[in-house]
Amino acid sequence: MNRRDTVVSPKRDRREDILQASLKLFAEKGFHGTSMRDIARAADITEGLIYHYFTNKRDLFTAIIEEHSFLPLLRSLPDLGEWLDTRELLLVLARGFFDVLHRNEDLTRLLLQEVQVFPEEKEAFFADAVKESIEALAKVLEDRMSEKARRQVDPAVIARIFFNSLLAFFVEQQILGGKHIVPADEQAYVEHLVDMVVKRMGVSKRRGGPTLAPM
């Protein structure tokens, strides 16, 4: 009997092994170029064990986005918003966004590869990551705005500009190699971006204090 069939680590460990192996292989070979057998071999488990945790590869892809992307930090926004003013909140968010990208560069490459070609992965990415990110930040910003400010500034547009600016900087510097040709200071970029957003929207205090000043 294969030792892999008789010795099984705790569920969370095995599940994480599968996610890590999938992430690495998806980034190297592409989503459709990676088989469940490839993943099982890389995770040192039987192929059947994968289906104990995940229904199919799409389920795996969704789990990677859910657990190894920016979403866990994003979902802490309501709690952070109770203690931080708008500028502080956006700085924490931007730094956390970059931290996740740096720790999961393979995931970033995978997303950039797959969402351009395969509609299923594009749908999962935009439904689970992009849409939720924009909506969550827009809700936090909208809660801090007066009625007059809401008529002048669309928080969803601001949220989209914020995240797109961060991702574009990372792709240009890290993925496309800009750091070797036209290096830029990441911290300075974040500070400038946040200051521009806060200036456009006004100045707010912690949640429960004054709302954003209308423009």
Q: Comparing C-alpha atoms, which of 141, 147, 188, 144 is closest to residue 169? A: 188
3-state secondary structure of 44: coil
Phi, psi of 212 (to 5 degrees): -60, 140
Position 15 scores a pLDDT of 92
The domain over range 69-201 is classified in CATH as 3.30.460? no
Give the separation between CA 25 and CA 22, rounded to whole angstroms: 5
| 41-65: pLDDT as tens digits | 999 999 999 999 999 988 888 888 7
Position 65 scores a pLDDT of 78
pTM: 0.73
Listed in order, the ranges of the chain carrying CATH 1.10.357 are 69-201
Architecture of domain 8-58: Orthogonal Bundle (1.10)
Task: Tell me how far apart the 2 most distant CA atoms of the chain are, in Å.
Answer: 72
Token digits of residue 102: 């740096």
Give the separation between CA 183 and CA 193, rounded to whole angstroms: 17
| Cβ contacts of 189-192, under 8 Å, gap ≥ 24 | 190/91, 190/94, 190/95, 190/98, 190/166, 191/91
Position 9 scores a pLDDT of 45
What is the CB neighbour count within 10 angstroms for residue 83? 11
Position 123 scores a pLDDT of 64
Q: Burial of 130 by CB count in 10 Å (0-12 exposed, 13-18 middle, 19+ buried)?
A: middle
Confirm if 135 and 160 have CB atoms less than 8 A apart: no
Phi, psi of 145 (to 5 degrees): -105, 150
Listed in order, the ranges of the chain carrying CATH 1.10.10.60 are 8-58
Residues of the chain with pLDDT under 50: 1, 6, 9-12, 204-215
Token digits of residue 160: 């989209």
Q: How far is CA 144 from each of CA 96, 112, 130, 135, rounded to the nearest angstrom?
A: 21, 33, 22, 15
Residue type, 47: E
